[in-house]
Amino acid sequence: MEIKDLKAVYFIGAGGIGMSAIARYFIRRGLVVAGYDKTPSELTRRLEKEGMMIHYEENLEEIPFACKQKNSCLVIYTPAIPADHKELLFFQQNGFEIQKRAQVLGTLTRHMKGLCVAGTHGKTTTSTMCAHIMHQSHLDCNAFLGGISKNYGTNYILSQSDYVVIEADEFDRSFHWLSPWMTVITSTDPDHLDIYGTKEAYLESFRHYSELILPGGALIIHRDLEMKENLQDDVRRYDYSRDEGDFHAENIRIENGGITFDFISPIESVKNIELGQPVPINIENGIAAMAMAQLAGCTAEELRYGMKTYGGVDRRFDFKIKSDKLVFLSDYAHHPKEIYQSAKSIRELYHDRHITAIFQPHLYTRTRDFYKDFADALSQVDEVILTEIYPARELPIEGVTSQLIYDNLKDGVKKQMINKADVLSLVKSRDFDVLIILGAGDLDNQVPQITKILEERIK
């Protein structure tokens, strides 16, 4: 079915961050847009205000009439939806065209120049940075992002540009549907082993993704990754890192709450890049974002202005309170390497302060596979408070609890285990110097209340 023939689009798993970006695209096109999600959230409430019809129980009667016409309705679902979901079964049994989110992105972007960002971690920040640089440049861009950009208050940008920035998700091999013109690969630390089974299969998935880069395009890959790319003829290859590579930083200055550096590039080096979100890990993310934007045609001044005015992403090093008395932030980090980078950046910023992390592990399988790595990464902070595991799409696994991480934290780290339901009470009863909420689960829903409690304390 061609996009131009659609009259309605139905989403099963409407409230996911990636799904919502596509929903916004179709809302803007004036189609009937509806869907199901398991629970209401701030994101689903926003979508409803924008014109999407959403319900929260498996109920065929809630599906709008326009979405029951198979010749004019496209059904989009997330792989996290169980195979026996009543609504998914209805559409399957009645011959509707059903696509995964990544298939739709592939369709939407086939006739544009895709600037994609893949990797185990760093892809949301890097793609959002690149989208901001491109959008405020003479080139402009469309964008489908995996987080809410603070510059735009959304995860979607629509324009008349030929460029589209996409966060390329490796979960369920989704990124294999894409045809990138250029792509960044930030990292390939094994994840989603419930899907891939082995590290080798995970790395092979990235190798196959590199084959999809279109001739005339480019790969911008972090130095020293385990994966071995396989590029088509006429695809340029560049590497990058914070300190080495075709693209890297020099003359880094971290002082007075700000970060400035020189961007070294084989095309044109740019001095005095100022980070609008001054977090050390964003030096490396910014190098990758600027590299792709520069290869697309952005000027030195556009790179400098874009980086200076970049406002960050919700739940990615998201500072809520930043004062001499107290620092409070939340971060989506949920893989050991992400937590390591997050903790390292916090320590670099606040090397002489007491850092406390409240971490909600995400998925039983991820905890089972990486509990020692989680413990090592978390041991960089002074104090760790663990909640129970957020299951997401999984059922419990016998013997897999947060206790595995707790027992492997290094000596000298103060530690505690609590129920998620008791987090607010703990915050009310404790003093903190630097506090960070870590994880991709639902603990972040309590961040507004925690912020309010802490703000009252420092008045």
Do both 62 and 118 map to the same domain?
Answer: no
| Residues 262 and 249: beta-carbon distance below 8 Å | yes
pLDDT by residue (tens digit) across 298-354? 999 999 999 999 998 887 888 899 888 899 999 988 889 889 988 988 888 888 899
Choose among 111, 19, 148, 156: nearest CA to 74. 19
- Asked whether residue 275 is assigned to any structural domain, the reply reads yes
164 and 215 belong to one structural domain: yes
Q: Cβ(188)–Cβ(225) under 8 Å?
A: yes
- Record the tokens describing residue 263, joined without a space: 């961007």
pLDDT band at 1 (very low <50, low <70, confident <90, very high): low
Pick the last residue of a domain from 309, 343, 373: 309
Structure tokens at 409: 């934290």
Number of Cα atoms under 13 Å in the Cβ half of residue 238 = 23
Q: What is the pLDDT of residues 380-433, one digit of tens each?
A: 999 999 999 999 878 899 999 999 999 999 999 999 999 999 999 999 999 999
Which two three-digit tokens encode residue 317?
A: 């090093």
Tell me if 182 is assigned to some domain: yes
Q: What is the pLDDT of residue 396?
A: 93
241 and 354 share one domain: no
The CATH number given to whatever domain includes residue 70 is: 3.40.50.720
Question: Are residues 162 and 305 part of one domain?
Answer: yes
Residues 433 and 326 in one domain: yes
Instruction: Give the distance from CA 401 to its chain's centroid.
Output: 25
The CA distance from 146 to 166, in Å, is 9
Q: Kindly state whether residue 105 falls inside one of the protein's structural domains.
A: no
Indicate whether 162 belongs to any domain: yes
**Do residue 131 and residue 45 come from a single domain?**
no
pLDDT at residue number 61: 95
Number of domains the chain contains: 3
Residue written as token pair 């679902």: 77
Model pLDDT, residue 422: 94
Cα 40 to Cα 43, 253, 428, 445, 449, distances in angstroms = 8, 43, 27, 12, 18
Query: For 436-453, what is each residue's pLDDT tens digit?
Result: 999 988 898 899 999 999
Collect all residues with Cβ–Cβ distance below 8 Å to 187 and sequence separation of at least 6: 119, 120, 121, 122, 222, 225, 337
**CATH code, 222:** 3.40.1190.10
409 and 351 in a common domain: yes
Residue 106 lies in a domain: no
Q: What is residue 178's predicted lDDT score, i.e. its pLDDT?
A: 93
Is 104 inside a domain boundary?
Answer: no
In a domain, 107, yes or no: no
Task: Tell whether 214 is covered by a domain.
Answer: yes
Contacts of 182 (CB under 8 A, 6+ apart): 113, 114, 115, 116, 213, 217, 218, 219, 220, 292, 295, 296
Q: Tell me, yes or no, whether 323 and 419 share the same domain.
A: yes
Which residues constitute the domain of residue 269?
A: 112-309
What is the per-residue pLDDT for 411? 93
Q: Predicted confidence band at 373 (pLDDT cuts at 50, 70, 90)?
A: very high
pLDDT, the chain, mean: 92
Which of 309, 334, 355 is a domain's end point?
A: 309
Q: At which of 309, 331, 353 does a domain end?
A: 309
Same domain, 142 and 17: no
CATH of residue 383's domain is 3.90.190.20
User: Alpha-carbon distance 197 to 69, whole Å?
Assistant: 39
The DSSP annotation for 219-230 comes to: EEEETT-S----
Give the strand order in the sheet containing 270-274.
248-255, 258-264, 270-274
Q: Are residues 159 and 290 in the same domain?
A: yes
pTM, full prediction = 0.75
Contact 358, 436 (CB under 8 A): yes
> Does 49 share its domain with 21?
yes
Query: Residues 40, 63: one domain?
Result: yes
For CA atoms 219, 223, 229, 235, the dihedral sign is positive
Sheet containing strand 236-240, strands side by side: 154-157, 142-149, 163-168, 113-118, 182-185, 218-222, 236-240
Residues 6+ apart with CB under 8 A from 447: 320, 330, 437
